[in-house]
Amino acid sequence: MTTDTAGRTTVARAIGATTAASGLGLVVAPRTALRLMGAPTPDPAPLLYRVVGMFMTVSGGLLLDGAEHRVVLRWSLAQKSGAVAGVGLGVLRGDYRKRALLVASFDAVSAVALARMLASPRPEAGR
């Protein structure tokens, strides 16, 4: 593995670890996450946030464990892009306050990093 490839893998794994950790936070404390994003917390929002958190934990864990595989990078890019769109739409609709865009910003930066990794040639072609 070249130094460049190792660096990309490290960045992807860091994104995965952060996604998994924030997903676990949603599983454990969905009301807190909703409050931080400025959303009202009517039921069933906390339950739904736990489900979202579980999927974030799984997708982040997959990226953490499989950052060298292009298919993992592609699906992680899809997840991050969807998160940006979802939170952005939530802010536009008034479901979240503008501070929720901080979450979308992390996902957007992550999506750009993952897209750049996918755009660059990799020695392990076909993965």
What is the tens place of the pLDDT at every residue in 16-73?
A: 999 999 999 999 999 898 888 888 877 778 888 899 999 999 999 999 999 999 999 9
C-alpha 114/C-alpha 39 separation (Å) is: 29
Answer whether the bond into residue 42 is a cis peptide, omega within 30°. no
Query: Are 101 and 45 in contact, with CB atoms under 8 Å apart?
Result: no
End-to-end CA distance of the chain: 14
Q: Write down the pTM of the prediction.
A: 0.82
What value does the mean pLDDT take over residues 73-96? Answer: 95
Among 47-51, 62-66, 115-119, 121-125, the minimum mean pLDDT is found in 121-125
pLDDT band at residue 87, thresholds of 50, 70 and 90? very high
Pick from 119, 23, 105, 29: nearest CA to 64: 23
Per-residue pLDDT, 47 = 87
Pick from 113, 106, 127: nearest CA to 7: 113
Work out the number of other CB atoms within 10 angstroms of the CB of residue 46. Answer: 16
Per-residue pLDDT, 122 = 65
Per-residue pLDDT, 91 = 94
Per-residue pLDDT, 98 = 95
Residue 9, class by beta-carbon neighbours within 10 Å (0-12 exposed, 13-18 middle, 19+ buried)? middle
pLDDT band at residue 123, thresholds of 50, 70 and 90? low
Per-residue pLDDT, 127 = 47
